[in-house]
Structure 1
Amino acid sequence: MPTEQTSQMSEPVFEAATCHKPRLIILIRHGESESNKDKTINQHTPNHQIPLTENGWKQARQAGIDLLRVLNLDDYSIVDKLEEQCKEENGTKKELPLRNYSPLSKKKDTNVVFYTSPYKRARQTLKGILNVFDEYNELNCGVKVSEDEKYHTTGKSKFALWYPPTFPSGFYENRRRSPVEELSDGKNFLQYRVKDDPRIREQDFGNFQQVNSMQDVMKKRSTYGHFFYRFPEGESAADVYDRVASFQETLYRYFERTNKRPRDAVVLVTHGIYCRVFLMKWFRWTYEEFESFTNVPNGSMIVMEFDNSTDRYVLRTELPKWC
């Protein structure tokens, strides 16, 4: 973890280091999946292949709008228009309140990096989010992305196809065709990159799951404790913690590489338990504190904002707790 700022450290060297910390780190839980709606699907469909429901797709689109709301953009009236369209689709999603969020930096956000779980429901959620981003770019700066050039969750073969095909598997970027391409009225193009990372996948509950036996397992977990209970043939939340620690070390290393282009926001499209464990590791919660929180609703967004005065991230989202 980068060292904390001291009163003596006002030299440009410190500024060069901290400017590579993104202004926002955001966690988004995937939209409603078929498994959230009907647990019997786990008896015959691999967990990583479970798709979103129709409502889950609507939640994914709303998550894209919510994400635009917390970024520093050129034109929020465009976001209003996109949200009006979303309301007409009658998507349902519970809102998580933001606490004391007002962008500490007013610099326009133009570079967003997405990390996604390779599970189908997470990739589909990201697809819904990026569709909103593409529409914003088209309305704001006149840059239209063709369907073939957009992010796709899977290809025609066993493995995903990515554009352009010269990129390595698991990486996507919405680069403009020409870096000198003129934008409408000097507007900012919202550039994003996507990286698949299996470390931010769902907690493993075992392979195919029989509903009756899983009901017994869930009762045992409630008695044993959510953090340390290990599912048969699966993981405990403590095992997920190890994956979180590895992933966060990757983020720290990137933040310290001053030769890389700074990220304005880092967004993880992931799963409910992973979100909680990520926050536990980052803010050094005890396992008792972890146990006090419940999963955020499907399609919800958790916002962490960097405060340059303390050289720390502040959790802006009020998390739900067990009743």
Structure 2
Amino acid sequence: MRLILIRHGESVGNVDESAFCLIPDHAMDLTDVGVQQAKDAGARLRELLGPQPVDVFVSPYRRTWQTLEHLALGSRIRRVREEPRLREQDWGNLQDLASQQRQKRERNAFGHFFYRLDSGESGADVYDRLTGFLTGLTSPWADDAGEQDRTVLLVTHGLAMRLACMALMGWTVSEFEALSNPVNGDFRVLTRLDTNGSSTGGGLLGLGPAWVLDRPFDTWK
């Protein structure tokens, strides 16, 4: 099994923090730069996939759906399912800019995994919902349960990408905290080495087959 995780292209909120005071987080559009990032990522993904079909799970946010559209994977997409558990870390309703900036400073000092946003989630909360999704990743399509070479694309967000890799790769909290989010429009590929359950790769729940990441995340700066 191969799992591809991609961060959405640049959105309005990525270039203007004050936008979160006026526009719901889930309703942020891609910028022109973000559209181009998605198109460029799509070209790389089409080369990676070749003719192989891909099952897609997408965060319910507008910017992730727009990213999927501009990936232009066409007939390679076998099925698409919106998956709310792939959403961005919840901040809670419209944001106050001063409060938003304060919480980001506190989160950087406290740690992204344990710090809980005033009206939203901690990184640990996001980890919990992601592990639930990843554990049952093949359950929506039971007829594919025995497929050994399945490729799944997750169109999601930067923090969610790191936390999903943390769950599958068996990273500690300290290892997670040392890494930065990928840039907008970037993706990572996780490949499962063993499908017979005999490996003890230290992944999700410390059980099951080992996963290999195609390239590391940058370290936190």
Shorter-chain TM-score bucket reads 0.7 to 0.9
- Aligned in 2, Cα 1:252/1:64: closer, same or farther, shift over 3 Å? same
Matched, 1:196 2:99: no
1:248 counterpart = 2:102: no
**1:194-237 CA distance string (max 9 Å, x none):** 10010000001121112122111111111211110000110000
State how far apart, in whole Å, the 1-side matches of 2:145 and 2:99 are: 49
Contact kept? 2:111, 2:177, Cα under 8 Å? yes
Larger Rg: 1
Give me the whole-angstrom Cα distance separating, in 2, the residues matched to 1:114 and 1:307.
21
Q: Structure 2: which 5+ residue stretches go unaligned?
A: 200-208
AA aligned opposite 2:26: H
1:43–1:55 CA distance, 2 compared to 1 (3 A): same
CA shift, 1:308, in A, is: 4.2
The whole-number CA distance in structure 2 between the counterparts of 1:223 and 1:205 is 18
Partner amino acid, structure 1, of 2:36: K
1:304 counterpart letter in structure 2: L
Residue 165 of structure 1: aligned partner: none
1:258 CA displacement: 5.8
Q: Where do residues 77-226 of structure 1 align in structure 2 (5 Å cutoff)?
A: 109=52, 111-129=53-71, 131=72, 133-134=73-74, 190-226=76-112
Counterpart secondary structure, 1:281: helix
User: Take 1:210 and 1:251, find their aligned partners in 2: how far apart are those partners?
Assistant: 36
Aligned counterpart for 1:69 among listed residues 31, 44, 47: 47
Report the Cα distance in structure 1 between the residues aligned to 2:173 and 2:194, rounded to whole angstroms. Answer: 28
SS at structure 2 position matched to 1:230: coil
Could you say which residue in structure 2 is the equivalent of 1:312? 210
Match among 41, 46, 50 for residue 19 of structure 2 = 41
Q: Which AA in structure 2 matches 1:229?
A: Y
Which whole-Å CA distance do the structure 2 matches of 1:251 and 1:269 have between them?
14
CA distance in 2, matches of 1:286, 1:259: 31
1:320 is paired with a residue of what secondary structure?
coil
CA distance in 1 between partners of 2:211 and 2:106 (Å): 36
Contact 1:227 1:238 in 2 (8 A): yes
What TM-score comes out, normalization by structure 2 length? 0.87
Match of 2:206 in 1: none
Q: How many residues align?
A: 208
Q: What RMSD, in angstroms, separates the aligned Cα atoms of the two structures?
A: 2.0
Q: Is the 8 A contact 2:8 2:64 kept in 1?
A: yes
What CA distance in whole angstroms lies between the structure 1 residues aligned with 2:124 and 2:37?
Answer: 29
In structure 2, give the amino acid aligned to 1:233: S
Letter in 2 for 1:321: T
Work out the CA distance in 1 between the residues paired with 2:124 and 2:144. 35
Match of 1:150 in 2: none
User: Is the contact between residue 27 and residue 270 of structure 1 (CA under 8 Å) also seen in structure 2?
Assistant: yes
In structure 1, the residue matched to 2:32 is 54
In the TM superposition, what whole-angstrom CA distance separates every residue of 1:131-178 from its partner, at most 9, and x where no partner exists?
A: 2x23xx5xxxxxxxxxxxxxxxxxxxxxxxxxxxxxxxxxxxxxxxxx
Tell me what 1:282 maps to: 168
Residues 169 and 210 in structure 2, CA contact (< 8 A), matched pair in contact too = no
Name the SS of the counterpart of 1:280 in structure 2. helix
The 2-side partners of 1:214 and 1:57 are apart by: 26
Percent identity of paired positions between Structure 1 and Structure 2: 38
Q: 1:11-30 deviations in whole A, cap 9, x for unaligned?
A: xxxxxxxxxxx2x1000000
Structure 1 unaligned runs (5+)? Answer: 1-21, 74-108, 138-189
1:299-321 C-alpha deviation (Å, 9 max, x unpaired): 00111123248653211122111
Contact 1:304 1:317 in 2 (8 A): no
Distance 2:58 2:178 in 1: 26
